[in-house]
Chains A and B, each alone.
Chain A
Amino acid sequence: MMPGDTDFQVRIASTWQLVDVAKDESVLEALQRAGVGVPNSCQQGVCGTCLTRVLEGEPEHWDMFLTPEEQEKNDRFLPCCSRSRTPLLVLDL
């Protein structure tokens, strides 16, 4: 749905599970595929329903929900559309 240029991985902090995110899928889709459901609605970075805390790594924000200042903090991101600048993101899930 919201593909990016590169593959990366996300780690589920509570279970230490590692999930691959392919170029042609969103983090949300990758999580769902791995059996991790995150509440979501618009799937295009508007509504903020899927907002998730980032514990490690640096997300690449593609959303319109967070303000530029909030995006700069890199402590939360929207897995429906945003990607990663680092090979790994650790998510507070």
Chain B
Amino acid sequence: MNDIASGAPRRVIPIAVDTGTAYGLPAPSYRKDLAEVGPGTPMGELLRRYWHPVGTADDANGTPRKVRVLGEDLILFRDKTGRPGLVYPHCAHRGASLYYGKVEERGIRCCYHGWLFDVEGHCVEQPCEPGGGRAKDKVRQPWYPVEERYGLVWAYMGPADRKPVLPKYECLENLDEGEFIEADDNSIGGGGPKIIPCNWLQHYENLVDPFHVVVLHASFSGTQFVEQMAVMPEVTWDTTALSVRTLSTRKLEGGKTLRRISEAGLPTLRVIPSPRIGRYGRVESLGWILPIDDHSFRIYVVGRVKEKGELSRMRSRLNGKLWEELTEEEHRAFPGDYEAQVSQGAVAHHSEEHLATSDRGIVMLRRLLEKQLEAVKEGRDPAGVSFDPGAPPVFFTAGNFLEE
């Protein structure tokens, strides 16, 4: 017999109203002004005021190579006199891709009708035209200026009258005894494969987040770097003319103090002393985050080394395995930077984030970027561009310093 039939008062169980459910969650949005890198976007225009690495010196060779930079598809090659070139892929004649072109002494020749362009896009031959092309001087294949330094090819993709000098860096110019410069294109520091499928800003902001080191890299997934990194640091940040700097101080066993200064430099620089602390002292390598487009990036690194291949050995390994050698189950159980950052989304959902006190560096970095966006918008030059070929190399204070 149930309650109703018995005439007993019906029991009413009060239903608690749930709060904070995902129902009705607005569609996420992101900071377009900071994240998007294509031509004409605010950040795209800011980034185009600086030089960016577009390949290793070896990548520029006799075989045309497709590169994608800041959302633009381009062809990188090196003519037979040794000059690197970077051109728009579609031939100025009828639009066939110069990817199928042939590299010659004087430049790159289109496969379709044989027009030949030099590294600055001048059309130097039109074999199907009378007299080798009487009007060929009127045609220009769109191109970008490139220069080589530190084993990389650098491109300037901005307004021609604002082209700065390609910077030199103190930590790569002044070598200690027995050191030489090595370049690497394996996205060291990205914690994953060569090309990382998320927005570049996610990685850039991670540079000023010293607290994730303690969790993600030192406890959650075991010791990914070294034991010292598991000690919760005292952290302060400051903004310099060229970077947001993080000072993490750790009291180590035995009474010594580890002072670690790392920087996120304008516009895309990783100024990160090795987290494995192979040696103490000034930062030994620099990394450039190259936004391929809004949804992928890669990292080029140049460092002072004493042995060939030293840089590539800096790549993260788990149980001796590189990221691409790990199983899905291992990725799930031992996440690193790649898993954390790529899972934020193709572009992180800025509208859904809740910044806290440990994110102060991220807010400072966004503000530093906003200031540069403003400068460009107002017709000024952003911080860190120099038009003086005699300017001293750029100096960073980053390093791992052990104090008694």
Interface residues of chain A, those whose CB is within 8 Å of chain B, are 41-42, 44, 46-48, 64-65, 67
Contact = CB atoms under 8 A, between A and B. Distances in A.
A38 B363 CA distance: 19
Interface string B35-79: 000000000000000000000000000000000000000000000
B356 interface: yes
3 closest cross-chain pairs (CB), A and B: A47-B355, A42-B355, A46-B355
A46 B357 contact: yes
Contact of B356 (A46, A48, A65, A67): A46
Chain A binding site: helix, strand, loop or mixed by DSSP?
loop
A71 to B, nearest CB: 14
B308 interface: no
A47 B357 contact: no
A65 B356 CA distance: 11
Nearest to B353: A41
A52 to B, nearest CB: 17
Contacts of A42: 354-356, 359
Interface string B252-285: 0000000000000000000000000000000000
Contacts of B353: 41
B357 A41 contact: no
A65 B361 CA distance: 10
Contacts of B367: 48
B360 interface: yes
> Looking at B239, B355, B359, which has the most chain A CB atoms within 10 Å of its CB?
B355
A48 B355 CA distance: 10
22 contacts: A41-B353, A41-B354, A41-B355, A42-B354, A42-B355, A42-B356, A44-B356, A46-B355, A46-B356, A46-B357, A46-B359, A46-B360, A46-B363, A47-B355, A47-B359, A47-B363, A48-B363, A48-B367, A64-B357, A64-B360, A65-B363, A67-B239
Contacts of B354: 41-42
Nearest to B357: A46
Contacts of A65: 363
Nearest to B359: A46
Contacts of A67: 239
A45 B359 CA distance: 11
Interface in B221-242: 239
Contacts of B239: 67
